[in-house]
Amino acid sequence: MRTRRARAARTLAVAAALGLAATGCGATSEVASGGWDETGTVTYWMWDSAQLPGYQLCAEQFEAENPDIDVVIEQFGWDDYWNKVFTAFVSNSAPDVFVDHTSRYADFASRGLIQPLDELVERDGVDLDAYVDGTTELWVGPDGQRYGLPKDFDTVGVFYDAEKVEAAGYTPEDLQDLAWNPEDGGSYEELIARLSVDTDGVRGDEPGFDPTSVETYGLGLASSGGGFGQTEWSMYAGSTGWTHTDQPLWGTHYNYDDPRFQGAIGWWTGLIDKGFMPPLAQTVGGSPDQQLQAGRYALVTDGSWNIRNFAGLSGLELGTFPTPVGPSGERAAMFNSLADSISTASPRKGAAWKWVQHLASVECQQLVAEQGVVFPALEEVVPTAEEALSAYGVDVEAFTVHVEEGTTIPVPITENAAEVDAIMQPAMDRVVGGTAPVDSLTEANTRVNELFGTADQ
């Protein structure tokens, strides 16, 4: 899953073309009328290269059980993926099945481009109670129809350089219950300051620290986070009690003008001015995990889907801890679950449904769990993934604690996802880049809500 800076303008342009190519408020089920081809070649698109080997094993398993169906998997990087999917729908060359994201499927569903699964789930007796709490709800649209079976789930935690933390005088136990606030940053900012070291060896909490010449930043930065902020700022804003939209799911009014949100962003971006977090312009020099390995960052906030990447960094003693407790009295981590969508244009939806069922089955998710990449969505398989991920020497409790304690916040699921991103990405870039004040997000929020006709609410 996941949220990396997308090419918003291109996606918006293609989405506009897609809007002209298809209309409707959800697909009409064809299950009762029959006529679905249950044999042939099923094309399957995905974006995560780390998960590709696991799903290739699932395909081999599936083909052995279904000799009349072949599965062809194609993988594209996140930045290109959505443009390819949108373009494929416009050109009537969409894959039979593709990995879908909760923040994206609304635009497909509202145009009748992906198949609702309710009749199929009921017909084949799919046990929705077998999935991790909260995952199945994410895939029910505002029309009440289900558009996916969960295949995994993810949360956000903090990765750290254990040697740097120890040298700063902290123990792993000290990191488990850190707290932050927008006034002085709390014990979390105290840690970040202590871990920041300038080129003369002066720490951020010591007199003489030079914020313009930093050797190690206490907290890393991947990007501005756009309007999503999953791994960048959502854990801070979410722990104030703020929510992206007016409803947990399928909201129609965004809240980027909320003082709690702007206060959280103001504190977070203030770390750059203090020299505790790198300027946005410097983030193009390498990914957060590479910067952690190189000693440029001491802490990095990132998703559970990247545990294996961080654990594989050579020459680094890695640690993890949960996101800090915020002003609400609780910590927060964005919660997401991917699923697989079936194109309504597929001439072999029967075969596609069999493949989707298999992807969401214990048999497939067990294989994926053993790869040690993501947490599967089926409850009974989660321990397998925890064991596989823990084998890398990483404490996965920093990520699962949010599900156990109920401190997850949902991915904002709304229509107009590409349009929202096209507004909020540059707006957040300007704020984090220091060329616009935090309150400029109020104007951006008005533009976003104009998309939904709720700007005056």
Select from 48, 130, 6, 79 the least CA-distant residue to 305. Answer: 48
| Domain parsing of the chain, residue ranges | 8-154+336-377, 156-335+414-450
Measuring CA to CA, how many Å separate 73 from each of 99, 167, 411?
11, 47, 27
pLDDT per residue as tens digits for the range 428-448: 999 999 999 999 999 999 999
Q: Bridge-partner residues for 150, per DSSP?
A: 339
Q: Is there a shared CATH topology between the 8-154+336-377 domain and the 156-335+414-450 domain?
A: yes
Q: Residues 230-263: pLDDT tens digits?
A: 999 999 999 999 999 999 888 999 999 999 999 9
CB neighbours of 73 closer than 8 A, spacing ≥ 6?
A: 44, 45, 46, 52, 55, 56, 59
Q: What is the pTM of this model?
A: 0.88
Band (15; pLDDT cuts 50, 70, 90): very low
184: tokens are: 């002085």
pLDDT tens-place string over residues 344-376: 999 999 999 999 999 999 999 999 999 999 999
- Give percent of the chain above pLDDT 90: 81
Residue 302 CB contacts under 8 Å (≥ 6 apart), including other chains: 156, 157, 159, 222, 231, 288, 289, 310
Q: What is the pLDDT of residues 313-342, one digit of tens each?
A: 999 999 999 999 999 999 999 999 999 999
For residue 18, pLDDT beyond 90: no
pLDDT for the residue numbered 284: 65
CATH superfamily of 156-335+414-450: Periplasmic binding protein-like II (3.40.190.10)
How far is residue 54's CA from residue 235's CA, in Å, rounded to a whole number?
A: 30
Q: What is the pLDDT of residues 43-62, one digit of tens each?
A: 999 999 989 999 999 999 99
**Superfamily designation of domain 8-154+336-377:** Periplasmic binding protein-like II (3.40.190.10)
